[in-house]
Amino acid sequence: MRLTAIGTAGSFPGRGALASCYLIETDEDTPTRIILDLGSGALSPLQETIDTDRLSGIVLSHLHPDHCMDMTGLYVKHCFNPKYFNGDISDTGTIRTPVFAPAGAKERLFRAYYTDPGKSPVANGGDDSDFDHAFEFTDIDHGSRHQIGSLTIESFLVDHPVEAYALRITDAAGKVITYSGDSDECENLVEAAKGADLFLCEAAFQEDRDTARGIHLTGKRAGRVAQYAEASALVLTHIPAWTDCSIVRGEAAGEYRGPIELAKPGATWTV
Ligand SMILES: [Zn+2]
Ligand SMILES: [Zn+2]
């Protein structure tokens, strides 16, 4: 399977990189194509990379805006294209993309989209079931395992101020890509990345500068998790605009003995 970085900026869109979004595609005759997260601004480069109508599924690690907010844009793209929309949202014949996300995702996105509860931009009034016209929601939970095409997605509860999951994606050949989502160091994250062929891991914090715990990994802690998990390769991502990537990478290199790369928009990795 192939991983493409779409949005790699940490916590908010940065210069030259939008917020979290990653595409995973299989190389079968009928490929499975999923995205992990669709953060602020990421719908733009995503459309440069793939026809969003052809996604097999979307998996959201958690419901912070830098990981899910462009779902509101994709909702509009699915439902209100004038080619199909005739003023009645229930009859637009839209694409319904499966979405796997923490419980409450639909309500969260609905609140973000509509200006007033119960008021809709469409004539017939809106409620959160409007999002069912664009997406088919399934809750993820710790230990849950879902199949999207030929990919298996397992979710592991991690250490973040909101309900958040690391995602372990296994293809038909048994190759594994693990995505940390947002997390501090924890046993479940090590478990999620155990023996992964590629570990895409956030490193939003810097040692000796960001002292808060239970939110993000430093480069050092990301490297330590990758080493404990014996992942074959580490790709650091979600580094905010105010952080020098080389410092975070150096921290990780002090802990992890495998190859380390920094995620950049458009970069691809095949496992
Ligand atoms: Zn984040
Ligand atoms: Zn977060």
Specify the amino acid at residue 203: A
| Amino acid 123: pLDDT | 45
228 exposed, middle or buried (CB, 10 Å; 0-12, 13-18, 19+)? middle
User: The pTM is what?
Assistant: 0.95
CA of 101 to the centre of ligand 1 (A): 15
pLDDT tier at 115, thresholds 50, 70, 90:
low
Percent of the chain scoring above 90 in pLDDT: 83
Q: Among positive and negative, which fits the CA dihedral 55, 132, 10, 194?
A: negative
Ligand nearest to the CA of 62: 2
CA of 10 to the centre of ligand 1 (A): 6
CA of 151 to the centre of ligand 1 (A): 24
Q: Is the pLDDT higher at 64 or at 78? A: 64
Ligand nearest to the CA of 163: 2
**Domain 2-114+131-270 CATH assignment equals 3.10.129.10:** no
CA of 116 to the centre of ligand 1 (A): 26
CA of 214 to the centre of ligand 1 (A): 13
pLDDT in tens, 195-228: 999 999 999 999 999 999 999 999 999 999 999 9
Percent of the chain scoring above 70 in pLDDT: 94
